[in-house]
Amino acid sequence: MVAEGELVWEPGEEVVASARLTRYLEWLGRPASYEDAWRWSVDHPGEFWTSIWDYFDVIGERGDGPVVSGTMPGVTWFAGSSLNYAENALRPRDGGAALVFVSEDGARQELTHDELREEVARVRTGLRRLGVGRGDRVAAYVPNIPQALIAFLATASLGAIWSAGSPDFGVPSVVDRFTQIEPKVLIAVDGYHYNGKSYDRSAAVNEIAAALPSLRATVWIPYLAAAGEGRAPQRAEPASPHATEPPHGEVIGWEGLRAEQGPLEFERVPFDHPLWILYSSGTTGLPKPIVHGHGGVVLEHLKSLTFHQDVGEGDVFFWYTTTGWMMWNYLIGALLVGATPVLYDGSATHPSPAALWRIADSENVTYFGVGAPYIMASLKAGLHPEGLEKLRGVGSTGSPLPPEGFAWLAAELPGVPLGSFSGGTDVCTGFVGATVLHPVRAGIIPCRSLGAKVESYDAAGKPVTGLVGELVVTRPMPSMPVKFWNDPSGERYFGSYFDVYPGVWRHGDWIKINEDGSCVIYGRSDSTLNRGGVRMGTSEFYRVVERFEEIADSLVIDTGQLGQEGRLLLYVTLAEGAELTEPLQRALCDALRTELSPRHVPNEIHAVPGIPRTLSGKKLEVPVRKILLGTPVEQAANPDAMANPEVLSHFRPV
């Protein structure tokens, strides 16, 4: 058992002196204390975000309007300015690879900056030929491959709007997303590889295209065919694999799209012009189509990657993600700061649990990011990552990382700081995170991000320190959504974040902020365990349960409601070869009684074949709770938005 707050890494003088954040603070002439700099950044947002524009020499016209005006949710940033994300991402760079692609079957591809710019210019020309222009939507059903990044940059360069889904998404889930935004072009792959198997998605593409009457064209990427021939998927071009041509628009191949050489130009657009549309998990109802603007994303990702991950020119940046998770959008932000993003398509554990660590070693990754479950799985598998001579930082996000994960990384990668990072699709960044100026303590997120005025509110809506409360943001950030698509009155947007505390963003997480500005995330506030008046986030529960070698995964549900205490139910997925014996159940209960409280001993423990998760890997606590309280499965959760919908049948009403 590792104590929360135990020191596991501390920056030396050389690390502090060479940090990119240190250079910025010196340029700024502000006090060296991070907490003082954070306070200035949130109390004077106009000055702070102007400094980000100036420090990074953002390409565009800043305009002469106010930097920030209005109140949440109706805030305007940099009135009168114009810029383009792609122009900033593709600014000329000297040497090095612009991007690297690897897949689980061993395919590898590298593009120089000149090659990337040429490919974007070609695809831009092809999209224009298909009638794509400013404000049009381009939808993509693609894995994390070079064509995805190229097509996105080409779309952005035109002032058109990008939206993507991973090809492991079910057809209804994709249709629910894309029908809301009425795309003009669909870009899709014929299939993908995962965990050593091939998945043909030709029929799925036909179904998706048939459901989108707005389409002028479907662009086919022969990814499965190219990989089957043992090549990286850049030039292969077999005939269209559609069994029947979709009823909407023409069908062309990727090579046809990029066939014509054209100029690389950039449509400069207003600061809040839509860049991409991301989606909420969508476990119930239609997914929320979240629109982010060019300017907000450019400034936020420049700030966050540079100061909180300490990533810049010469770095090789990796984050394990699919195109359906906002971390893909964050990963490709490496181009903005001159770093090389490593795109990986495949399983995190094929052909072995060490697959991602081996990529980090072979590609000389300097910053390695994953979801917290991968770190815990590495710990449980007894992995000892080797090589990694260039590695300077590790990032963790997606769910709270227990203190044991911090300690394991510190032991296995001495001298490499861990940056635990928490935010969301809603802002496409982290509200809280780390810097290399901060020591790393087990289970603790070192700081609130620059420009993010994060506070913890008690039940009365008052800020508290040292106590667990609702995570709120009390000052606006440029990367907050411009709007939700098809929400002209803003009612849906307002109801998602501002209906509890008017004028204050409520994120839906439990957080404790310490006196020194560090914090702990305890999981979703709408899935809280409330036992005998003691409220606790589920992350503390999972930390105890999943420490057992016999437990591969777990889910805890409190069925209490409306002031009436219910039953506490624990569901566990067992490790291979393990059984849910009476001694194991007693050991689990004893540990929970000792480490949490007698109130948190489950009334029942059930073994299930899997814990339901979203496509981005988050545990479905709230939908399962609804099912246990009697909501029909089809109303509680959308199976097409789940990674493993088949396991829902194992959860039945109490």
pLDDT tens sequence across 172-200: 878 989 999 999 999 999 999 999 999 99
Residue 277 has pLDDT above 80, yes or no: yes
The reported pLDDT for the residue numbered 147 is: 98
pLDDT tens sequence across 190-238: 999 999 999 999 999 999 999 999 999 999 999 987 765 434 443 333 3
**CA 407 to mean position of chain CA atoms:** 24
CB 482 within 8 A of CB 292: yes
Residue 239 has pLDDT above 60, yes or no: no
Domains of the chain: 529-650 (3.30.300.30)
The reported pLDDT for the residue numbered 229 is: 44
pLDDT tens sequence across 443-473: 999 999 999 999 999 888 999 999 989 999 9
The reported pLDDT for the residue numbered 578 is: 94
3-state class (DSSP) for residue 48: helix
| Strand stretches in 149-242, DSSP E | 161-165, 185-189, 191-194, 197-200, 217-221
177-186, 255-264, 447-456, 543-552: the lowest-pLDDT one: 543-552
Question: Counting beta carbons within 10 angstroms of the beta carbon of residue 594, is it exposed (0 to 12), middle (13 to 18) or buried (19 or more)?
Answer: exposed
Over range 120-134, report the average pLDDT: 98
pLDDT tens sequence across 2-46: 888 999 999 999 999 999 999 999 999 976 789 999 999 999 999
Residue 572 has pLDDT above 90, yes or no: yes
Listed residue (104, 95, 427, 139) closest to 293, CA to CA: 427
The reported pLDDT for the residue numbered 281 is: 62
Prior bond to 341 cis, omega within 30?
no
Distance CA 615, CA 637 (A): 12
| Strand stretches in 409-495, DSSP E | 418-420, 422-424, 429-433, 440-441, 447-448, 454-457, 468-473, 483-484
Residue 631 has pLDDT above 90, yes or no: no
Amino acid in the structure at residue 437: L
CB atoms closer than 10 angstroms to residue 49 = 24
Residues 6+ apart with CB under 8 A from 502: none
The reported pLDDT for the residue numbered 54 is: 98
The reported pLDDT for the residue numbered 42 is: 97
User: Side-chain half-sphere of 570: how many Cα atoms within 13 Å?
Assistant: 23
The reported pLDDT for the residue numbered 237 is: 39
Distance CA 502, CA 72 (A): 8
Angle between helices 582-595 and 538-545 (to 10 degrees): 130
What's the pTM? 0.86
3-state class (DSSP) for residue 300: helix
Angle at 318 between CA 317 and CA 323, to 5 degrees: 120
pLDDT tens sequence across 316-365: 999 999 998 899 999 999 999 999 999 999 999 999 999 999 999 999 99
Over range 575-599, report the average pLDDT: 89
Average pLDDT, the chain: 91
In this structure, is the dihedral angle defined by the CA atoms of residues 351, 98, 25 and 481, taken in order, positive or negative? negative
The reported pLDDT for the residue numbered 247 is: 67
**CA 474 to mean position of chain CA atoms:** 22
Residue 487 has pLDDT above 50, yes or no: yes
The reported pLDDT for the residue numbered 533 is: 54
121-125, 279-283, 342-346: the lowest-pLDDT one: 279-283
> Encoding tokens for residue 114?
């000149």
Residues 6+ apart with CB under 8 A from 615: 166, 168, 169, 173, 281, 322, 324, 325, 641, 642, 643
With cut-offs at 50, 70 and 90, classify the pLDDT of residue 517. very high
Residues 6+ apart with CB under 8 A from 85: 156, 275, 294, 297, 298
CB atoms closer than 10 angstroms to residue 135 = 13
> Where do we find the tokens 């635990």?
420
Residues 6+ apart with CB under 8 A from 329: 276, 278, 297, 428
The reported pLDDT for the residue numbered 522 is: 82
Residue 128 has pLDDT above 50, yes or no: yes
